[in-house]
Amino acid sequence: MNRTDFLETDALLDEEDRAIGEAVRSYANAELAPHVAEWYESGTIPIDIAIGLGKLGVLGMHLEGYGCAGTTATAYGVACRELEAIDSGLRSLVSVQGSLAMFAIHRWGTEEHRQEWLPRMAAGEAIGCFGLTEADAGSDPGSMRTHARRDGDDWILSGSKMWITNGTVAHVAVVWAQTDDGIRGFAVPTDTPGFSAHEIHRKLSLRASVTAELVLDDVRLPASAVFPDVRGLKGPLSCLNEARYGILWGAVGAARACLEEALEYTLVRTQFGKPLASFQLTQRKLADMSIAVTNASLTAIQLGRLKDQRRITPEHVSHGKLANVKVALEVARTARGMLGAAGITLDHTVMRHMNNLETVSTYEGTEEMHALSIGRALTGIAAFR
Ligand code: TGC
Ligand code: FAD
């Protein structure tokens, strides 16, 4: 019996996808897990781990060509699951690099952008970030103020972006801005004069991850910097679909890790002369957590199938992100309580996961945004505004 995959949902995966998951799990356990509490405590992540992740083949792994592995979407999901079982910050690094920055360049960039950035990004030698959110434009990115105007053939980009993962360590920023022709995307080398990034400190969540404000102070870009063929929110939202898909898998990993730790702890911790796991109230919690992890896993696997068959819709992704992050947070909170005082320290993983999942629930569309997206699909009525 597999105590953290009760219904053996992994048996539903193709052999190759499962093997990729095992390779990522074993790399993450050996190379990343031993350091992650220290990174979390110091509020940082050494960006040179991207080189190892590049060698592992997980950066932009479901993209074709340009040094990317070209795996199935399911394999990408399984990799996200195994990384987030260690820490959401690791999955975040991979999501932003592969699903946001690289996907944007791959899908919407020019051939020149692709040749310039993708091979180095797949190898982890160049880092990307994705600037959509602003201080006053979060759930409603269409209200962004950052804008780009023409000056001869050049573009002049002005404004600021907030809460940008990898912002201070990025070599290229994908920036979305208002133009006379609607919202457009730009590939901005971060050494361009006028571009600066400022790390956001004092986070209580996703601490093993760099989060920054981007300031665009009349950044002059050549005509070739713009993504030629996309206008409007469709551009950035198409990238979010990719990252949200990775997140719905990642949440399974975080929840599974919390279940695993709650089980291990309650089997050995004794109170009232018996292991905590022997009390009926504890077993009810463990049973509910096991069911939650299994259901989340089934949801992820079905969405992987739909994505590999090119039948997935944004509303399907909203379903997965909302459902899986919500239950992962519930599992993490329950597990945190089950470890008592020990559960609040970095010697255990549960509170780190719980705190991380607060961010995971907020970014890439809050629970409310995804509920409204599902509501619109069910009713035909948009209730966002
Ligand atoms: P709406 O009128 O619904 O749509 C505008 C245009 O966009 C199209 N569209 C989509 N296209 C692709 N994928 C989707 N999911 C799409 N949703 C909508 C739509 O068809 C339309 O196209 P067109 O051609 O007709 O113009 O737009 P709205 O302004 O009403 O907003 C819809 C809403 C609220 C769902 C959307 O704005 C939204 O998703 N808000 C949440 C914002 C968000 O998720 N931000 C995330 C920022 S990035 C991030 O958090 C990274 S964290 C990463 C990490 O560290 O892991
Ligand atoms: P708001 O939009 O102000 O929402 C606040 C609350 O109001 C939420 O509960 C929300 O659901 C609710 N609300 C809003 N509108 C409605 C409505 N119509 N009906 C009901 N409730 C509503 N962004 C990027 O572009 N790139 C990144 O790399 C990135 N990384 C991030 C990393 C971290 C650590 C964090 C915390 C955020 C990151 N974000 C990034 C930003 C993230 O996408 C936004 O925080 C998110 O979209 C929510 O926006 P907001 O924080 O402005 O909240």
Which atom of ligand 2 lies closest to the CA of 161?
25
Tell me the CA–centroid distance for residue 189 and ligand 2, in Å: 25
Ligand 2 atom nearest 140 alpha carbon: 2
Which 8-state DSSP code applies to residue 48?
Answer: T
Whether 75 is in the pocket of ligand 1, judged by its Cβ within 6 Å, is: no
Pocket of ligand 1 contains residue 96 by CB under 6 Å: yes
Which pLDDT belongs to residue 311? 98
pTM: 0.98
Q: Ligand 2 pocket: which of 163, 355, 359, 381 to mutate (most atoms <8 Å of CB)?
A: 163
Q: What is the pLDDT of residue 181?
A: 95
Which ligand is nearest the CA of 202, by number? 2
Crossing angle for the helix pair 234-268 and 280-308, to the nearest 10 degrees = 150
- Give the ligand 2 atom nearest the CA of 385: 18
139 lines ligand 1 (CB under 6 A): yes
Sign of the CA dihedral with 122 first, then 126, 132, and 134 last: positive
pLDDT of residue 123: 98
Distance 361 CA to ligand 2 centre (A): 9
C-beta 95 within 6 A of ligand 2? no
Q: Would the CB of 92 count as within 6 Å of ligand 1?
A: yes
> Which residues, 6 or more positions from 298, have their beta carbon under 8 angstroms from its beta carbon?
7, 9
Q: Is 194 left (phi over 0), alpha (psi -120 to 50) or beta?
A: left
Sign of CA dihedral 169, 352, 24, 238: negative
Ligand 1: residue of 45, 240, 372, 381 to mutate (most ligand atoms within 8 A of CB) is: 240
The response to whether residue 234 sits with its C-beta less than 6 Å from ligand 1 reads yes
Distance 19 CA to ligand 1 centre (A): 33
Q: Per-residue pLDDT tens for 256-270?
A: 999 999 999 999 999
* Catalytic positions, written as ranges: 364
Q: How does strand 128-131 pair with strand 172-179?
A: parallel
Closest residue by Cα to atom 22, ligand 2, is 368
- Ligand showing the shortest atom-to-Cα distance for residue 108: 1
pLDDT at 71: 98
The segments of the chain whose pLDDT lies below 50 read none
- The answer to whether 219 touches 157, Cβ cutoff 8 Å, is yes
Instruction: Say what the pLDDT of residue 368 is.
Output: 98
Is residue 362 in contact with ligand 2, taking CB distance under 6 Å? yes
- Listed by start position, the domains of the chain span 9-122, 128-225, 234-379
Q: What is residue 331's three-state secondary structure? A: helix
- Architecture of the CATH domain 234-379: Up-down Bundle (1.20)
Cα 28 to averaged position of ligand 2 atoms, centre (Å): 29
Residue nearest to atom 25 of ligand 1 (CA): 234
CA dist., res. 89 & res. 329, Å (int): 15
- CB distance 40 to 207 below 8 Å: yes
Q: Which pLDDT belongs to residue 307?
A: 98
DSSP sequence for 260-310: HHHHHHHHH-EETTEEGGGSHHHHHHHHHHHHHHHHHHHHHHHHHHHHHTT
What pLDDT shows up at residue 1?
A: 87
Number of Cβ within a 10 Å radius of residue 310: 7
CATH superfamily of 9-122: Acyl-CoA dehydrogenase/oxidase, N-terminal domain (1.10.540.10)
The predicted complex's ipTM stands at 0.98
Question: If you measure from the C-alpha of residue 233 to the centroid of ligand 1, how many angstroms do you get, rounded to a whole number?
Answer: 6
138 CA to centre of ligand 2 in angstroms? 4
Establish whether residue 366 lines the binding site of ligand 2, counting it when its CB lies within 6 angstroms of any ligand atom: yes
Q: Is the CB of 375 under 6 A from ligand 1?
A: no
Rounded CA gap, 71 and 17, in Å? 8
Which amino acid, residue 63?
L
Confirm or reject: Cβ of 356 under 6 Å from ligand 1. no
Determine how many CB atoms are found less than 10 A away from the CB of residue 262. 27
Asked if the domains 128-225 and 234-379 are classified in one and the same CATH topology, the answer is no
Atom 3, ligand 2: which residue's CA is nearest?
Answer: 138
d(CA 351, CA 346): 8
pLDDT score of 365:
98
Please say whether the structural domain 128-225 has been given the CATH code 2.40.110.10: yes
Say whether 58 sits in a helix, a strand or coil: coil
Contact 87, 251 (CB under 8 A): no
- End-to-end, the C-alpha distance of the chain in Å comes to 49
| Residue nearest ligand 1's atom 21 by CA | 234
Render pLDDT for 20-74 as a digit per residue (tens, 0 to 9). 999 999 999 999 999 999 999 999 999 999 999 999 999 999 999 999 999 999 9
Q: Is 165 in the pocket of ligand 2 (CB under 6 A)?
A: yes
